Structure formats: C-alpha cells, structure tokens
Amino acid sequence: MLSNFSYGFQLFFAEIIFLYPFPKRRHFILRILAAFVMILGTNFINLHFIRAWNPSTFMNFAGLLLTICISFLGMRLSFDAGAMAVLSGCVAGVAVQHISFQIYRLVSLIPFRTRPDELAVELMTAAVVYLLVWITVGQWVARRRIYEDGDRRMIVVAVLIVLICIGITRLLRLGGPVNAYMTLCTALYAIVCCTLALFVEFYVHESVRTQSEMLVLRRINEEERRRYELSRENAEQMNIKYHDLKHKLRYLEKRLPQEELDAMRTLIDSYESTYETGLDVLDIVLNEKQMLCRSKGITLTVMGNGAGLRFMDTMDVYSLFGNLMDNAIEAVEALEPPEKRQISMVLERRGEFVYISCMNYTGNDVSLRQDGLPGTTKTREPGYHGYGLRSIRMIAEKYHGGIRIQSENGMFGLNIYMTGDAEPAVPAAG
C-alpha cells in the first residue's frame, strides 16, 4: 500500500528541506496537511489511472509533471513567499528526491546474500540523503534567506536541468530491459545533473548576488568620497564665513539695538562647529548631521573622543558614521511624540577594543534574521537596514571587529567594536 504513495511522500519531505524557513501563511498546519494530501492523491491517480490508461513514456512523464505541479500549488498556498521563491524550493526538492532515488538504484546493484525489501531500502536511502542535505544545503539556504531575492534566471535554468534530466532517465528506463551497466551510467548522469542544478540555483546565485552587492557598495563608497570632499569644503567655507560675520558684528554693536544684536549672535552661533572630537573627519560628519537633526527637531547627543579612531582610514570613518547617523535619523524623524526623536552615541576605549554605541527610539521593534541583520530591506522602514548596515559591518570586520544589534521595547541599539592602536577615550563636548 505504501508503494502507491512513495514518490509523493518523498517529494513532499524533499521540498520541505528547502521551504521550511519560508514565512508561513495563516492556518499553516491545515494548509500544509492539505498540500500533503494533494501530493499523495495526485501520485496515486498517476499510478492507478494515468499510467493504467496509457503506459507510454510520454504519459509517464506527464503524470510525474502533474505531481510536481500539484506539489508546487500546495506549497504556494502554504508558504507566504513569491511564486518564483516557492518554485525554487520545489525544484530543489525534486532534484534531491531524484538524487536519492538514483543512489537507491546504485545500492540495488550490490549483490546481497538475501534480497532486502526494495521499498524499505528506497525509503532508508531517502532518509539518509535528506538528512545530509538538510544539515548542509538546507541550513545554508535558511541562513541566507534565499527566498527574499531569488534570481529568476538561475531558477529557470535549474528547472530545465532537472526536468530534462528526469525526462531522459525515464525515457531510458522505459526503453526496454536495463542492465547493470546502463543503470550505473544513467544513475551517475542523473546525480551529476541534479547536483549541477542545485549548484546553479544556490551557489552560482549567491556568487552573483555577492558580486552585485560588492559593485553597489563600491559605487556607494565612490559617492561617499565625493560627498566627503564636498562636506569638507563646505565646512571650511562655513568656518571662514562664521569668523567673518563675528568680526563684522563688532562694528555693528553701537549701530543696532541690543535685541537685534543678540538675535544675530544666536543665529551665527548656531552655525559654529558643535563637535571638536580630535578627529577632523568625524567632526565634519557630526557637525553636518547635527545641522540636519536641528532642522528635523531631533536631539543628538555624542560622548567620546575621535582620537581613538585614528587607526581608521579617513573614508572608513566618514562612511561608518555617515551611515550610522543617516539610519538613526531616518528611524526617529517621524516619531511621535517629538520627545522620542533622540539619538545618543558613545565612543569609548575598552582595552584593545574601540566601541561605538548608537541608540535611538523606533516605531516598532525590528526583527532580526539568523545572521544578526534586520529582516527588512525596505528603504522607509524604521531602524537600520540595507546597504548602509552592510557597509558598517564590512568596515568593522576590516578592523578585526564586528557589530551587535539589539531591538526591544521600542529601542534600537547598534554596537560596533574594532581593534586598533587608539588612545584612551575622553568625553568630548556635544
């Protein structure tokens, strides 16, 4: 009786290896049970009706495709992900099931003294293969959250490889008596093809994605370098004009009412450099972001000494603190009440490590992925996200450090630690 559902049973669990980390739809248990029944039912119909009606190679392959399509439909109704993402998990499951079946065919060539139960050997082989795949590829796919940005081209290529491979092996098996040599060749061919499909679908996709991210980050760094040069020139011009205006104000002291003079002094003083941390590039970033915070009604508090960061490249300092402040500002600028629009940052030295801690309120707690990064890449989502945070992490790792993220009770904290020859930190005004 179990042989009537063997393929559907194996296919279901092979697909679950890759689909289990996907977001689930409401009433998931009922949905996945329904998908399981749909797959088994289609498998049964394929065996007892389609093949019985027409046992030709074409109908055999058509029945197999029907079972795969029904499995895709069931998984699509169970997991809350895009169609291509679910298709990616399903075709990977089909490939793994086919690999396990071909390994079973190779095992069947071993001359046992007593012939074992074929179905038991097939299921045991599948269990071992599935466990190994889940420990290796399945866990890796879960950590990388492939379903968030699957490459359509890679998925289509994987689908074609798997279907062509299955079609050819089915054609050979149904062409007449199969000897041990043909079994060995077709099994090895199928295993290689399905492994290649998994390689294309996951490893090649990950490699292309990594290269694309590096290109984007490189362009961002180039843009940040241009912004830094412009910010430095603006800061120099602002300081010159600030001192010129203060000098000219002395000549107006006896010509204007005291109230106007006080108002002018207040306005001029608001453009004076607020932060003097001992590191010019950090001063430029903080003073630039302080002006932006004032315009948005955000309170920015910074404690620490930039001298502890002199081991860092100038552009790394500009990029790290620019991204840090931009993300924090975006997180708090629309918060209500206005008292929550606060950002605090502390720089300190602890032994051989330099720590940078940035805290701010958020509208909602930010969900974190298994790799420690926020689970969203939306550009208007409160909190840290996207390439800014990836750039921060890359810079920290460049200096033998890393980042830690905390999000709870409406507060978001990003802690950065790096190693370097730094002087003890001293609180700076600001």
| Per-residue tokens: 260 | 């106007």
Chain region(s) in the chain for CATH 3.30.565.10: 277-430
Sheet holding 299-303, edge to edge: 299-303, 342-350, 353-361, 411-419, 402-408
Average pLDDT, the chain: 78
- Provide the pLDDT for residue 99: 93
pLDDT > 90: what percent of the chain?
20
| Per-residue tokens: 206 | 């990950």
- Provide the pLDDT for residue 254: 58
Q: How far is CA 235 from the centre of its chain?
A: 37
| Per-residue tokens: 126 | 């599948």
Q: How many CB atoms lie within 10 A of CB 7?
A: 23
Tens digits of residue pLDDT in 407-420: 888 888 899 999 86
Tens digits of residue pLDDT in 227-253: 766 666 666 655 555 556 565 566 666
272 Cβ contact partners less than 8 Å away, ≥ 6 residues apart: 242
Confidence bin at 294 (pLDDT 50/70/90): confident
- Provide the pLDDT for residue 424: 39
Distance CA 85, CA 72 (A): 11
**Residue 424, CB half-sphere, CA atoms under 13 Å: how many?**
1
Confidence bin at 219 (pLDDT 50/70/90): confident
- Global confidence as pTM: 0.58
**Kindly report the CA angle at 323 between 318 and 328, in degrees rounded to 5?**
130
In the chain, count H helices and then E strands.
14, 5
What average pLDDT score do residues 415-426 get?
A: 64
Confidence bin at 316 (pLDDT 50/70/90): confident
Amino acid found at 292: L
CATH top-level class of 277-430: alpha beta
What average pLDDT score do residues 138-148 get?
A: 75
Smallest Cα–Cα separation from 219: which of 387, 34, 78, 368? 387
- Provide the pLDDT for residue 256: 62
